Amino acid sequence: MKTITIRKTDRNLIGCIRLPSSKSISNRLLIIRALASDGFDIAHLSDADDTLLLQELLQKIRKHKDRLSMTELDTANAGTAMRFLTAYLSMVPGKWILTGSEQMKQRPIGILVDGLKSLGAQIDYLSKLGYPPVMIHGTSLRGREIIVDPGISSQFVSALILIGPKIPGGLTLHLSGPAVSFPYVKMTISLMKDFGIHVIQERSRIFIAEGDYIPCNFTVEPDWSAAAFWYEAAALADYVDLELEGLTRESIQGDSVLSDIFRAFNVITEFTGKGVHLTKSSQPLQENQFKFNFSDHPDIAPAVITSCSMLGLHGLFTGLKSLQIKETDRLLALKTEYEKIGIKAETYSTGNLIPAIEIIAGRVTCPPGLQINTYGDHRMAMTFAPLAILNGNIRIENPEVVTKSYPGFWNDLVSVGYEIIE
């Protein structure tokens, strides 16, 4: 397995970075375009692996729809592609097998399939009940009111509401409990409204009117989730003068909450006409403990928790249920790698057995040459890479995993003074 060494000879963070385009927005736009009667241009579409794969699969679907023979589609490790295409293919004429990597086959999909079946979808499991791979016979769906549990993945809800306008009579979803990552559902709704769809969201009810997506050209904004690793680097640096181009206060991305979270770590965010300007306060940290519920923001959890840990703060983090069904079990992966650094982390369950992690305040030892296992997870690689600013150098296994969401990460790291040695 390939390993790289990341070196930083000072503790300054100076430069200007153009973050990758949001793959969350990009992937939703690709489904909207596939459902629209006419095409439209998408500027600054993400070049992340997940988005490129979804584009490729949608092209294959267009080529093979209406065929009598079975077509297999491999989503690899792309969760969004698996969930969105399960809903999309349920109404596309043809016979489809939707599969993925071994890790994908361990990620549940039963709640989404049950919802689609209640609309008349013809979907069968090919192996383990409730998990991919699935066989789908595209058919006409029937509009009605359905109940969906949003507590496992917001992508189940987004997948259903994206196809809602194409169902005769529209669709009404009733959410049966607390939602995880609900800002991503709000993002989906916002994008649908941009394309002329009438959507009403009231507490636990979402109504989507029948209608056509009205084509209009769209520009994808930079990815706030990717900004988390630069906020982390800023929190660990002594001096910061860093520009993150294109980010806005008015973003439809829920992870823009980073600007508020990292205030507790002395990172100051200024919104400018160009984007975000980060600086660092030299004042001592105001608190010796930090608490946060990540139910709405699981993607930024690794960077925030690691920042808190490396600053020697006591941390209590809840709302981490979805971290266990990502590219890896991120909660277990973080705890395992923290042990190498001397961070004492305790995991336990809160109400309804929702996992939490507690970081015990203490002096952290981050020895030079520390080697980090990424577990095939892009966010693990990008979370631990900035730590070289503290110990001089750190080794990262399987560095190519970053292409899943942020192909230019290592180049950007070099641009602000880190050195990459292969």
SS3 string, 309-341, reads HHCCCEEEEECCHHHHHCCCCHHHHHHHHHHHH
Written as six digits, the tokens of 139 are: 């058919």
Assess whether 299 carries a catalytic annotation.
Answer: yes
12 pLDDT higher than 60: yes
Q: Please check whether residue 16 is in contact with residue 230, taking contact to mean a CB–CB distance below 8 angstroms.
A: no
Digit-coded pLDDT (tens) for 158-192:
999 999 999 999 999 999 988 888 999 999 999 99
pLDDT for the residue numbered 258: 97
Written as six digits, the tokens of 411 are: 């180049």
**Which residues are CB-contacts of 63 (< 8 A; sequence separation ≥ 6)?**
none
334 pLDDT higher than 60: yes
Per-residue pLDDT band at 235 (split at 50, 70, 90): very high
CA distance 63 to 51: 19
Residue type, 394: I
Digit-coded pLDDT (tens) for 83-95:
999 999 999 999 9
Of 349, 345, 350, nearest to 361 by C-alpha is 345
Q: Which residue has the higher pLDDT, 41 or 288?
A: 41
Beta bridge partners of 270: 277
11 pLDDT higher than 90: yes
Domains of the chain by start residue, with CATH: 3-20+222-421 (3.65.10.10), 23-219 (3.65.10.10)
- To which residue do tokens 């030892």 refer? 365
Digit-coded pLDDT (tens) for 103-128:
899 999 999 999 999 999 999 999 99
Digit-coded pLDDT (tens) for 371-420:
999 998 999 999 999 999 998 899 999 999 999 999 999 999 999 999 99
pLDDT for the residue numbered 114: 96
351 pLDDT higher than 60: no
Q: Where are the alpha helices (DSSP H) in 2-98?
A: 23-35, 49-64, 79-89
User: Sign of the CA dihedral 381, 387, 388, 389?
Assistant: positive
The catalytic residue among 50, 74, 296, 299 is 299
Size of the chain in residues: 422
CA distance 29 to 22: 11
Digit-coded pLDDT (tens) for 238-258:
999 999 999 999 999 999 999
Q: Please check whether residue 209 is in contact with residue 165, taking contact to mean a CB–CB distance below 8 angstroms.
A: yes
Q: Please check whether residue 48 is in contact with residue 406, taking contact to mean a CB–CB distance below 8 angstroms.
A: yes
CA 44 vs. chain centroid, Å, equals 18
CA distance 362 to 343: 8
Beta bridge partners of 134: 98, 125
Give the full edge-to-edge strand order of the sheet including 95-99: 70-74, 95-99, 134-137, 122-125
Q: Please check whether residue 86 is in contact with residue 159, taking contact to mean a CB–CB distance below 8 angstroms.
A: yes
